[in-house]
Amino acid sequence: MPKSVVNPEFLPILEKMPSFDGLSSLSLPEVREVFLTSVRLIEGRPLPDVITREEYVPGLNNAPDVRVVVYTPREVQPNAPAMVYIHGGGLVSGHPEVDDPKCQKLASDLGFQIFSVDYRLAPEVKYPGAIEDCYAVLKWVHENARKLGISRDKVVVAGESAGGGLSAALSLMARDKKEYKLAFQLLIYPMLDDRTAINSDPGANFGEFVWTRSANKYAWQAYLGDKAGGPQTPPYAAAGRATDLAGLPPTFIGVGSMDLFLKEDLYYATRLMAAAVPTEVMVVPGAYHVFDMYVPDAELSRRFMDAYCAALKRTLNL
């Protein structure tokens, strides 16, 4: 797909972007440096009306405590809505601070208390480490809701890329365990299906920029091992594998028209609708993976964020 198809506002950053191709030939520190190099392109300024702090949440099944970065509006309302936010990074890299600008803006604009999960990364910790860390935070948020000043009826899960995939898996896990109820899932260009890593037909021109086929294959193999793409992947590892989507919370799925995940995301959205889950979908024209993080002030990036914020407001009656 030629660069001429890329929205002009998203073009300049491509020249500075490191290549995610060939990750399998790098050492793990080198792989994470590629991610960090891309993160350094993101500029954010702290918002004075949002307070940031750390918490440590007990892990599941004797796992280590999970670090959580909490974003709270300085003028927090009683029974505030809460968001469990899950960062991206291909399951092998990243940390909550990557999403400081987005989480601060969401907390400021919508009045959310946001709990961003510092989950354990692959390949050191493979599945189910990351999803269990996310569930541990969801559990802690619900069980401490009164002390935190949040409403158990307005807890949502959100994340981008790998974090979007973990968010979808967390929604499935919460539905199945029946311990905690989610009010909404916000899936931002989510990484949903390990079969895309081995499938030659996600669309010949998708995934040419930023997050590529080879990067995706590396990430899924780091998380699942040699079984990635095979018949035995459980839905809590890759939500696209779930056969029953009924009973999931209202959903927003957003993705760029040039994203490797476009096909799997639209398919998941279609299946959610078929399962009678209220679902809104937005495809951003001329947008590659994580376009909104790198060019947040572009018109289409602002429209994208406005759309999912509006969906949150409608669903939660904010």
In this structure, is the dihedral angle defined by the CA atoms of residues 167, 172, 176 and 181, taken in order, positive or negative?
positive
Please identify which of the residues 87, 95, 142, 289 carries the catalytic annotation.
Answer: 289
DSSP assignment, residue 93? S
Nearest in space to 37 (alpha carbons), one of 260, 255, 294, 222: 294
CATH number for 3-316: choose from 3.30.420.40, 2.40.10.120, 3.40.50.1820, 3.40.50.300. 3.40.50.1820
Buried-state track 187-197, b at ≥16 Cβ within 10 A, e below 16: bbbbbbbbbbb
Query: pLDDT (tens digit, 9 = 90+) per residue, 288-307?
Result: 999 999 899 999 999 999 99
Please identify which of the residues 38, 93, 151, 161 carries the catalytic annotation.
Answer: 161
Q: Where are the domains of the chain?
A: 3-316
Buried-state track 282-299, b at ≥16 Cβ within 10 A, e below 16: bebebbbbbbbbbbbebe
Query: pLDDT (tens digit, 9 = 90+) per residue, 256-295?
Result: 999 999 999 999 999 999 999 999 999 999 999 999 998 9
Q: Are residues 24 and 305 in contact, defined by beta-carbon separation less than 8 angstroms?
A: no
**Paired sense of beta strands 50-57 and 150-160, if any:** unpaired
Buried-state track 73-108, b at ≥16 Cβ within 10 A, e below 16: beebeeebbbbbbbbbbbbbbbbbebbbbbbbbbbb
- 44 pLDDT band (50/70/90 cuts)? low
Q: Which amino acid is at 275?
A: A
Is pLDDT at 218 greater than 70 in this prediction? yes
Is 38 marked active-site? Answer: no
Comparing 21 with 125, which gets the higher pLDDT? 125
Q: Note the residue count of the chain.
A: 318
Q: Which of 61-65, 81-85, 90-94, 226-230 has the lowest mean pLDDT?
A: 226-230
Spatial separation of the C-alpha atoms in residues 130 and 240, rounded to whole Å: 17
Q: Kindly report the pTM of this predicted structure.
A: 0.96
Is pLDDT at 1 greater than 70 in this prediction? no
Is 161 marked active-site? Answer: yes
Please identify which of the residues 100, 259, 265, 292 carries the catalytic annotation.
Answer: 259
**Paired sense of beta strands 66-73 and 80-86, if any:** unpaired
32-40 mean pLDDT: 82
Q: Where are the alpha helices (DSSP H) in 145-275?
A: 145-148, 162-177, 213-224, 262-274
Spatial separation of the C-alpha atoms in residues 40 and 28, rounded to whole Å: 19
| pLDDT score, position 142 | 97
Nearest in space to 9 (alpha carbons), one of 207, 291, 212: 291
15-36 mean pLDDT: 85
Instruction: List 281's β-bridge partners, or say none.
Output: 253
Q: How does the average pLDDT of the chain come out, rounded?
A: 93
Is pLDDT at 43 greater than 70 in this prediction? no
Query: pLDDT (tens digit, 9 = 90+) per residue, 80-95?
Result: 999 999 999 999 999 9
Residue 295: enclosing H or E segment and its boundaries? none
- 36 pLDDT band (50/70/90 cuts)? confident
| pLDDT score, position 203 | 60
**Paired sense of beta strands 66-73 and 113-118, if any:** antiparallel
